[in-house]
Amino acid sequence: MFEIVLVEPEIPHNTGAAGRLAIATGSRLHLVKPLGFSLDEKAVRRAGLDYWKEVDLVVWDSWADFQASHPGARQWFLTTKGSRSLWKAEFQKGDHLIFGAETRGLSDEIHATLTEEQRIRIPMADGPIRSLNLATSIGIVLYEGYRQVSGHELS
């Protein structure tokens, strides 16, 4: 359905949750190194429960390697620096949903290559919260994309 891309993820539980979301929606999970954990770490397996072995997983050595392997892909970058609301994005099957590291988001280097249209944010009420948990954000964006593309509810 979609390509979920985590650039330099740091927290194994978030990656495990992303793997479960990928399975639940028929999506592929991409992890771009460096990772803040080992893939065989108990915490990732626990977060993905016994489903981790079912995750359609691709691990990339660098952002440059990932980008070189996906020329012309439709890419959406989730960022608090975006001015475009998630609700205005029009998703298509196969889109790349790209998320940055939990503590710092996407790098300035990546941001420098983006159009404003590619940068989308999840709307939130004004308040002390800067951003949502990565796994929560992935779930919100992935299921909005699924809703748009599938035109029906999951069974």
What does the block give as tokens for 52? 């981790």
Sign (positive/negative) of CA torsion 120, 14, 7, 111? positive
pLDDT of res. 126: 87
Going from the N-terminus, what domains does the chain have, and what CATH number goes with each? 3-150 (3.40.1280.10)
pLDDT of res. 49: 60
96-99 sheet: strands from edge to edge: 57-60, 28-32, 3-7, 96-99, 75-78, 119-121, 84-85
Please choose, from the candidates 79, 100, 97, 80, the residue with its C-alpha nearest in 3D space to the C-alpha of residue 36. 100
pLDDT digit string (tens) for the chain, length 155 residues? 999 999 999 998 899 899 999 999 999 999 999 999 888 766 555 655 678 889 999 999 999 999 999 999 999 999 999 889 999 999 999 999 999 999 999 999 999 999 999 999 999 998 898 889 999 999 999 999 999 998 765 55
DSSP element (H, E) containing 5 = strand 3-7
Please choose, from the candidates 43, 104, 32, the residue with its C-alpha nearest in 3D space to the C-alpha of residue 75. 32
pLDDT of res. 83: 87
